[in-house]
Amino acid sequence: MAAIKELRARKILDSRGDWTLEVDLICDDGTMGRASVPSGASTGRHEAHKLEDMDKSIANVNVLLSSLVGQDVTNQQQIDLLLLNTDGSEDKSNLGANVTLAVSLATCEAAAISQKMPLYRWIQKLSGTEKLSMPTPMLNFINGGKHSDSGLPFQEFMAIPVPGHPYHEQIATGQRVFQALKQTLIKLGQRTAVGDEGGFAPKLASNEEAIEVLLQAIKAAGLQAGSEVAIGLDIAASAIPDLAPVTYPLRPHDYFVKLVTDYPILILEDPLPEDDWDGWTQLESAIGQRVHLLGDDLFTTNPRRLQEGIQRKSANSVLIKPDQIGTLTETLQTIALAKQSGMSIAISHRSGETESTFIADLAVGTAAQFIKTGGLSRGERVAKYNQLLRIESELASAPQA
């Protein structure tokens, strides 16, 4: 048994140049796991509480040490329960969800190393996933909303290789579209600066123009929109200051039905505000057979909110961000609930990221259908895509039964 011996916490920089928390968890056999915590620009109000004071966060990590020393590092559920009990609040507001998550994920990595298993294999065991699979990348190629100064109301305009092909082919398809989009923007006299998530941030006139430009790039890459590359949109409705006519020229429900009808949209994320349960249910009834209606701010990786959404039939897909809930065990509970309900699952980064590749292993280890980790021009985003290429290669050389 590898027992927890020491925690070392420090503040590090995230991809926006802000301070965030990193934790090393060391076991008595010398095994070490490391985890860092990202942060979002557009956050749902039902997310667990993040402690912004990094000095206090570090102090809170040290508070946890006394209850964790001697614990078997492979007992993830027990360790996460100790974290929850020590915090004692509903929303992790005493210790901070960033504190509990950093320790929780560091525990997972240390356990995998102690068991001499790849991280994705250990997550597979923890989650009870029967068969590993590679996720389809949701590539955010035009950044809007709070992720850039483009002025576009919608937050993300994504190119999504049509599922069903090997991951390395999908990422190669995405790379072709990304390079074609850059050249398309140059020809249009647009800038090619990038936003927080590694996609371009052009000054376009409307959301529809951004979709059209992305469709032009798909065509310029020699690919067929719809049959080879689909469109994904993250509206981030709760982050739009007001639902002005420039954003929704029609009633929101009718507008999104029209968008799905007019364009080859595969994924529609957060089209309505986070507490508009009835609106979500009506939209799911109208377009759920045609798209993955993806709830992020609606669910905030919280199993209780997801259960309510399942009962209301408000969405058919859930976005998973571990920092929204604060422990790996609760994250896996939400994933399990989604699977039981037949929902598709997308594992996601945050706009303020670190170089950690944990979510890549999480996506494979839980057999999530999608992964969302930005564009192809920032190292903290590319790190996740490259980790998936490594995992795919490992799985190909040692296929599972």
Residue with tokens 């065991």: 125
Would residue 197 show up in a list of annotated catalytic residues for this protein? Answer: yes
Q: Give the number of residues written for the chain.
A: 401
Sheet holding 4-13, edge to edge: 4-13, 19-27, 32-36
Q: Residue 345: what residue type? A: I
- Vertex 123, ends 9 and 103: CA angle to 5°? 15
Cα torsion 390, 393, 398, 401: sign: positive
Query: What six digits make up the tokens of 78?
Result: 């027990």
Q: How far apart are CA 263 and CA 253, in angstroms?
A: 16
The Cα 95–Cα 58 span in angstroms is 10
Contact 15, 198 (CB under 8 A): no
227 exposure class (CB count in 10 Å sphere: 0-12, 13-18, 19+): exposed
Where is 185: in which H helix or E strand? helix 167-187
8 A C-beta contact, residue 292 and residue 16: no
What DSSP letter does each residue of 317-344 carry, written as one string? EEEE-GGGTSSHHHHHHHHHHHHHTT-E
In angstroms, the CA 299 to CA 319 distance is 8
**Torsion sign (Cα): 277, 279, 284, 290:** negative
Query: Which listed residue (22, 156, 197, 284) is catalytic?
Result: 197
Q: What is the DSSP string of 33-89?
A: EEEE--B-SS--TTSPPP---HHHHHHHHHHHHHHHTT-BTT-HHHHHHHHHHHH-S
- Which residues have a catalytic role annotated? 197, 321
